[in-house]
Amino acid sequence: RPRVLSGIQPTADSFHFGNYLGALRQWVDLQEEHQPFFFIADLHAITVEQDPKVLRQRTLRAAAQLLAMGIDPDRSAIFVQSQVPEHAQLGWVLQCLTGFGEARRMTQFKDKSAKGGEGAASVGLFTYPILQAADILLYRPAYVPVGEDQRQHLELTRDLAQRFNSRYKKTFRLPEPYILKATAKITDLQDPTSKMSKSASSPSGIVEMLDEPNVSAKKIRSAVTDSGSEVRFDAEEKPGVSNLLTIYSALTGREIPDLEEQYAGRGYGDLKKDLAEVVVDFVTPFRARTLELLDDRTYLTEVLRRGAEQAGAVAAGTLRDVYDRVGFAAAG
């Protein structure tokens, strides 16, 4: 079975609808026919300052959410990135293969460092995509299910894999991004031209998976909509309404033209009211299940330990090949 790999950062108390519809839902589906490795990216999280206690809590919350949405630990290795040291080790080797100018072209660094200024950003935030390349290449996956914002990082990953393979010897598989067009970029409810983001969106712009259901409903009902009143999908002219239609369609499985027809001659208010109900029905059982899982820390820790063991076995094999090929002397 072909391998898949993906990760998510424990940078908030809850995942949001962008994470879920853009990536996590595909993780669940891909489990069926693939051999999956899914990790909680705590090494990436510290590229910006984190409170240690909060980071540890969020890591467990992330694990609970992944299980609650249907990641099955008997089919998928779920693990915490820092528990598999090969990620950082391969990261270093790949840093030495990356041009400074090449790293500079990564637009996510520009976005994420824009607020505080480049000078205040950490070097880790700058080299983050290279660590991400290591995360992926260690497992030689066929596919990497992510949202649109990760496309450029996937291209860098493929470039680095290719470079290593041609400079030394074929070692890495070139992974394909697995990006579902319809939900690849869920936008901020209050600023529908920007992506919904754990760290950049305002609370009212994000629908969190673990929000109280009535809070989520309220956020949907207060989403910014566009001028005019026609419910029509048009990402350019009507980004707010289009985002709501995308979420609606993704959660119900109904086609967008079908929804457009249903709301023909009705206003944005009706659309938002109905979508709010759909969202409540979706998050209520998810939230209950997550909170239940969080009550059993021993189980969660055990799942993560087992995941790290499975991942570590694969990662160690790849790193051994890499160290050998770059010319590191074997320990006696």
Instruction: Report, as residue numbers or ranges, the catalytic residues.
Output: 112, 195, 198
Give dist(CA 110, CA 327) in Å, integer: 35
Between 93 and 279, name the residue whose CB sits nearer to ligand ATP: 279
Regarding 157 and contact with ligand ATP (CB under 6 A), the answer is no
CB 64 within 8 A of CB 31: no
Contact between 11 and ligand ATP per CB under 6 A: yes
Which CB sits closer to ligand ATP, 209 or 319? 209
Q: Mask: binding to ligand ATP, 164-203, rule CB under 6 A, as x and -?
A: --------------------xxx--------xxxxxx---
Nearer to ligand ATP, 76 or 263 (CB): 76
Q: Which amino acid is at 9?
A: Q
- Using the rule CB under 6 A, is 81 a contact of ligand ATP? no
C-alpha distances out from residue 293 to 36, 61, 86, 234, 308, Å: 21, 9, 29, 40, 19
Give the per-residue contact string, 21-40, with ligand ATP (x = CB under 6 A; - = no). Answer: -xx-----------------
- As a whole number of Å, the end-to-end CA separation of the chain is 36
Pick between residue 15 and residue 268 the one whose CB is nearest to ligand ATP: 15
Pattern 197-236, ligand ATP, x by CB under 6 A:
xxxx------------------------------------
Residue 220's closest CA among 257, 186, 260? 186
Q: Name the burial class of residue 41, with classes exposed (0-12), middle (13-18) and buried (19+) by CB atoms within 10 angstroms of its CB.
A: buried
Question: Strands 176-178 and 143-145, how do they pair?
Answer: parallel
Task: Kindly give the pairing relationship between strand 3-8 and strand 176-178.
Answer: unpaired
Residue 99: other Cβ atoms inside 10 A = 10
Tell me if 4 contacts ligand ATP by CB under 6 A.
Answer: no
The number of C-alpha atoms within 13 Å of 55 and in the hemisphere containing its C-beta is 17
Cα–Cα distance, 89 to 140 (Å, whole number): 16
Q: Give yes or no for residue 46 binding ligand ATP (CB under 6 A).
A: no
162: contact with ligand ATP by CB under 6 A: no
Instruction: Measure CA 61 to chain center.
Output: 15
**Residue 110 Cβ, how far from ligand ATP at the closest point, in Å?**
14
Residue facing ligand ATP at closest CB distance: 22
**58 binds ligand ATP per the rule CB under 6 A:** no
> Residue 326 and residue 181: Cα distance in Å, rounded?
38
149 binding ligand ATP? (CB under 6 A): yes
Considering the rule CB under 6 A, would residue 240 count as an interface residue with ligand ATP?
no
**Amino acid letter, residue 163:** R
- Interface with ligand ATP, residue 19, by CB under 6 A: yes
| Shortest Cβ 146–ligand ATP spacing (Å) | 3
Shortest separation between residue 253's beta carbon and ligand ATP, angstroms: 18
# chain residues binding ligand ATP, by CB under 6 A: 20
Interacting residue ranges for ligand ATP, rule: CB under 6 A? 8-9, 11, 18-19, 22-23, 146-147, 149-150, 184-186, 195-200
